[in-house]
Amino acid sequence: MKWTDSQAIAEALYDKHPDIDPKTIRFTDLMEWVLNLDGFNDSADKCGERILEAIQLAWIDEAD
User: Is 47 contained in some domain?
Assistant: yes
> Is residue 1 in some structural domain?
no
Q: What global pTM score does this model have? A: 0.93
Digit-coded pLDDT (tens) for 13-64 = 999 999 999 999 999 999 999 999 999 999 999 999 999 999 999 999 999 8
Which pLDDT belongs to residue 64?
A: 87
Q: Does position 5 have pLDDT exceeding 90, yes or no? A: yes
The answer to whether position 40 is within a domain reads yes
**What total of structural domains would you count in the chain?**
1
DSSP letter string over 21-41? -GGG--HHHHHHHHHTSTT--
- CA dist 47 and 24 (Å) reads 19
Q: Is residue 43 part of a domain?
A: yes
User: What CATH number has the domain bearing residue 10?
Assistant: 1.10.10.600
Per the structure, the complete domain to which residue 58 belongs is given by 6-63
Report pLDDT for 56. Answer: 97
